[in-house]
């Protein structure tokens, strides 16, 4: 039996999961786009520039101070007209949550200001809610300054132009010049890492399913096999295999999932765990897809999902073992 590459079948599985009920909701069967913050200068430039090791300074950003505690809108005071060299990172207060990994999806409150000016070009505090974004889709200063920090931390970033908006010629709408150094105070509210695993101490339910799989709780599932003679599903069906201890999923939650998948005839097995760099897939609950069946399932759970065939789309029936590895409330 030939095994397809992860990228091909994962894409097919994602399409299947989203298409089968999306047609009924009239959205054309398209999957979720990655949620982004509201129109924000912090995400408008690509994170392509790599800082060298000597460019990244961890410690005292003595050129400015920020008032307030975690969760409070800060006020910045600049002590020098001259900005420091390179990317400066200072942890004002360290949280006790998980370490943010490279490329993670992060929820944060933040305030951005041009160095030495009163130009606060963006902040989430006035909007009343934190913003969500992928560290692979923001300016390089954010990408490299926030990776490795803990959830619950307040972090100050001083970002040179080459790791901010210099590569894009600045941002005239935000009042940021091509040579401007920009400063952010960031409160990391939550994060889902791309290599996240399921909950090792999730409580097994002893529920019967029509498939077997390889992979302990808290470890990747490397293979799922539909039992011989199992009846092909005609409607989506979710069975909780092990119950996690996290909050139950709710409509609007931006949810991180890892899964192993196979066509009902077991001819096309694959999994997300084998994707290089981490294969967590993201979906928003309550979007009219079969994944809405996960609403009410606690984060940390392992579930079995049967997906019926869609003859009109030429898509066969699937079986998936899914680990709910994280969720960020809207």
pLDDT in tens, 117-143: 999 999 999 999 999 999 989 999 999
For residue 144, what pLDDT is reported? Answer: 93
For residue 55, what pLDDT is reported? Answer: 47
11 or 30, which is more confident? Answer: 11
Shared-domain flag, residues 12 and 79: no
1, part of any domain: no
Shared-domain flag, residues 223 and 237: yes
- Does the pLDDT value for residue 62 go beyond 70? no
For residue 15, what pLDDT is reported? Answer: 53
Shared-domain flag, residues 105 and 21: no
pLDDT tens column, 245-302: 999 999 999 999 999 999 999 999 999 998 877 789 999 999 988 899 999 999 999 9
User: What pairs with residue 242 in β-bridges?
Assistant: 204, 302
pLDDT tens column, 221-248: 989 999 999 999 999 999 999 999 999 9
For residues 309-328, average pLDDT: 91
CB distance 84 to 141 below 8 Å: no
Average pLDDT over the chain reads 83
For residue 252, what pLDDT is reported? Answer: 94
CA gap 304, 112 in Å, rounded: 43
92, part of any domain: yes
Could you list the residue range(s) of the whole structural domain that residue 237 is in? 6-33+196-328
For residue 40, what pLDDT is reported? Answer: 46
Shared-domain flag, residues 137 and 176: yes
182, part of any domain: yes
Shared-domain flag, residues 210 and 289: yes
CB distance 21 to 236 below 8 Å: yes
- Beta strand spans in the chain (E): 56-58, 64-66, 76-78, 87-93, 105-114, 120-123, 131-134, 154-159, 182-192, 203-204, 211-214, 223-226, 237-243, 254-263, 270-271, 281-284, 302-307, 318-328
Q: What is the CATH number of the domain that holds 78?
A: 3.10.50.40
For residues 193-207, average pLDDT: 95
pLDDT classification of 310: cutoffs 50, 70, 90: confident
232, part of any domain: yes
Domains of the chain: total = 2
300, part of any domain: yes
pTM > 0.85: no
Shared-domain flag, residues 282 and 256: yes
Token readout for 187 is 């409160």
- Does the pLDDT value for residue 183 go beyond 50? yes
Shared-domain flag, residues 163 and 290: no
pLDDT classification of 41: cutoffs 50, 70, 90: very low
Q: Which of 191, 210, 236 is the last residue of a domain?
A: 191
For residue 325, what pLDDT is reported? Answer: 96
Q: Which of 191, 211, 231 is the last residue of a domain?
A: 191
């Amino acid at each position: 039996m030939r095994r397809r590459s992860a990228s091909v079948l994962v894409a097919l599985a994602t399409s299947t999961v989203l298409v089968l009920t999306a047609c009924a909701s009239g959205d054309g069967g398209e999957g979720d786009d990655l949620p982004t913050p509201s129109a924000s200068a912090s995400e408008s430039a690509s994170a392509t520039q790599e800082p060298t090791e000597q460019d990244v300074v961890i410690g005292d950003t003595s050129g400015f101070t920020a008032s307030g505690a975690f969760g409070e809108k800060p006020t910045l005071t600049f002590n020098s007209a001259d900005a420091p060299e390179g990317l400066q990172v200072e942890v004002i207060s360290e949280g006790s949550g998980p370490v943010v990994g490279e490329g993670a999806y992060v929820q944060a409150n933040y305030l951005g200001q041009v160095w030495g000016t009163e130009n606060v070009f963006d902040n989430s505090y006035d909007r009343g809610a934190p913003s969500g974004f992928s560290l692979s889709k923001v300016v390089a200063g954010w990408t490299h300054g926030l990776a490795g920090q803990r959830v619950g931390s307040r972090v100050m970033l001083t970002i040179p132009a080459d790791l901010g908006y210099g590569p894009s010629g600045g941002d005239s709408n935000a009042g940021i010049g091509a040579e401007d150094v920009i400063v952010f105070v960031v409160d990391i509210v939550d994060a889902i890492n791309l290599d996240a695993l399921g909950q090792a101490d999730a409580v097994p339910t002893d529920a019967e399913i029509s498939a077997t799989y390889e992979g302990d709780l808290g470890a990747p599932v490397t293979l799922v096999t539909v039992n011989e003679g199992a009846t092909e599903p005609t409607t989506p069906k979710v069975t909780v295999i092990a119950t996690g201890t996290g909050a139950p999923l709710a409509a609007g939650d931006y949810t991180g999932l890892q899964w192993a998948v196979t066509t009902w005839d077991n001819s096309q097995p694959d999994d997300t765990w084998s994707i290089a760099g981490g294969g967590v897939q993201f979906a928003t609950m309550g979007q009219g897809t079969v994944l809405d069946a996960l609403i009410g399932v606690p984060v940390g759970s392992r579930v079995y999902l049967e997906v019926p065939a869609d003859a009109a789309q030429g898509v066969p029936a699937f079986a998936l073992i899914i680990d709910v590895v994280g969720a960020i409330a809207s």
